[in-house]
Amino acid sequence: MEYNKNFYQIHSNDDIFQRIKDERAEIGYYDLPYQDTNDIKNYVATVRQRHIVVLGIGGSSLGARAIYEFLLPSNKYQKDLIFLETVDPLEIKYCLKKLDINDAHFVVISKSGSTIETISLFKYLSTLVEVNGKNCTIISEAKTKLTKYANNNDIKVFELAENIGGRFSVFSVVGLVPLAMVGADIDNLLNGCRRVSDSFFKQKEYYQPIISKARFLVENKARFNINAIFSYSSSLESFNKWYVQLWAESLGKLNINKTRQALTPIALIGPVDQHSFLQLIIDGVRDKTVTFIKIADLKDDTIIPKSSANLGLEYAEGLSFNDLLNKQADATIQSVEAQKDIPCDVITISTVDEYNIAKLMFSYQLLVSTIGQFLQINTYDQPGVENGKVILTNALKC
C-alpha cells in the first residue's frame, strides 16, 4: 500500500521566492518587460485610420482596455480605441454606430485563433467592409487558422508566444499593439514593468512584502474568502475588471491535492461605492480583505468654488476636487481601519501615466503568481471553462 501524499505544505517565503524564480524560465510574461518594441512602433506608424477597433474578449481585451481607459480622461490619445467583445447583437450595432467603419482599423486578437465570439464578429464585420492588410492586424499564436488566414491575405500578424496566457498578456503584443496605435507610450509602460520586475527579483525589501501579503491571504483564505480592491478613481474601472479576471481565473483551481482553492475578487470604485458596497464591508460578516488604491496627484487643480447659494457644505469650498477625492479615500480607509478586524492595506500610485499603471498591473501579476505558488495550483490554465465550450460546440453542431 502506498499512501504518501502532499496534502498541504506551507512553504517558507524563501522557498516560494525560489519557485517563482524557477517558474520564470517557463512562463512567458516574466520576460515581457525586456522585449524590443521597434517592430510594433514601426508598424503602427503606418496605420492611418482614426478608429482602432479591437475584436477580442477576456484576456484579449481587458488589459489594453484597463490601460486605455485609465489614461483616457487625461487626453493622451489622438485616436479612439473601441472594444468589440460580446456577441450581443444590439450591443454590436450600437458600438459600430459610433465609428466610421471605412476609417477604422481592426485588430483581431485570439490566442487560439478559434474564440467563437471573436471569429463570429470578424466574419460579420467582413460583410460590412472589405478587410485586408490595410485595415486589419491580427494577433494570435503562430500555428492557428487565424494566423494562416492572415498570411494568405497579406495581413500583418503579431505572434503571441504559447507560454503567455491571455490574462498575463497585457504587456505582450496583445496589449502593446492596440495601445501603440492610439498613441500610448508603450516604452514607458515597459519602463514601469521593468522597475517592478528588477526590484522584485533583486531586492529583498521589495519581494518580501509581496510574498508576505500572498502568505497572509492564503493562510487566512477560509476566514477571508473575498478580496476587495477599492480604487479611488473612475478611470480605474477597467483596471478593476482586469484584476477580477486575473484573480478569479488564476486562483480558482483544484490544487495538486485536488482540493478546491479560491480567493474571490471584488472590485469597487470610490467614492461611488461608498454609496453602495461600503455598508457591507463595515457592518457585514468579516469575510473580506480590502486593498485601497489611491492616485496621489491627478495633476488637475479644479476647485470646488465658493458659492453664495446657501447650499451648505461650505467647508468643502476652496478645496480641489483632487483633494476631496483623496480625503474621501482617507476617511473611508480610516473608517475601515477603525473596525480593527478587517484586514486592509493601501497602494498609492503617483499619477496618471503609463509608467504608474504598468507598475500597478505588473505588481498584481507577481502577487497572483506568488499566491498560486502558495496554493500549489497551476496559476496559468483554466480547465474549468472547457466543459462549457464542449457543451456549446455539441449544441451548435446538432
Residues 21-80, interacting with its own copies (CB under 8 A): 57-59, 62, 72-75
Nearer to its own copies, 202 or 397 (CB): 397
For the CB of residue 316, give the shortest distance to its own copies in the complex, in Å: 6
For the CB of residue 87, give the shortest distance to its own copies in the complex, in Å: 5
For residue 168, count other CB atoms closer than 10 A to its CB. Answer: 24
Contact 160, 243 (CB under 8 A): no
Q: Give the contacts of 354 (CB within 8 A, at least 6 positions apart).
A: 67, 71, 184, 185, 186, 188, 189, 191, 192
Number of residues that bind its own copies (CB under 8 A): 115
Contact 362, 171 (CB under 8 A): yes
Q: How far apart are CA 192 and CA 306, in angstroms?
A: 40
Nearer to its own copies, 142 or 319 (CB): 319
> For the chain, what is the largest distance between any 2 Cα atoms, rounded to a whole number of angstroms?
85
Please tell me which residue in 93, 275, 306, 340 is annotated as part of the active site.
275
Q: How far apart are CA 341 and CA 220, in angstroms?
A: 13
Residue from 23, 27, 35, 124 in contact with its own copies (CB under 8 A)? 124
Residues 170-199 contacting its own copies, CB under 8 A: none
Please tell me which residue in 69, 85, 117, 249 is annotated as part of the active site.
249
Residues 74-113 contacting its own copies, CB under 8 A: 74-75, 85-94, 113
Q: Does 117 bind its own copies (CB under 8 A)?
A: yes
Nearer to its own copies, 28 or 252 (CB): 252
- Give the per-residue contact string, 298-327, with its own copies (x = CB under 8 A; - = no): x-x-x-xx-x-xxxxx-xxx-xxxx-xx-x
Residues 354-373 contacting its own copies, CB under 8 A: none
For the CB of residue 54, give the shortest distance to its own copies in the complex, in Å: 13
Q: Give the contacts of 298 (CB within 8 A, at least 6 positions apart).
A: 74, 233, 322, 325, 351, 352
Nearer to its own copies, 4 or 78 (CB): 78
Whether 51 is a known active-site residue: answer: no
Cell of 98: 459610433
Q: Does 272 bind its own copies (CB under 8 A)?
A: yes
Whether 275 is a known active-site residue: answer: yes
Of 7-15, 36-44, 330-338, 360-368, which part binds its own copies (CB under 8 A)? 330-338
Least Cα distance to 247 among 219, 276, 230, 226 occurs for 226
Nearer to its own copies, 52 or 266 (CB): 266
Nearer to its own copies, 119 or 180 (CB): 119
Q: How far apart are CA 56 and CA 166, in angstroms?
A: 10
H or E element: which one contains 321? helix 321-337
Contact 147, 159 (CB under 8 A): yes
User: Which residues are known catalytic residues?
Assistant: 249, 275, 389
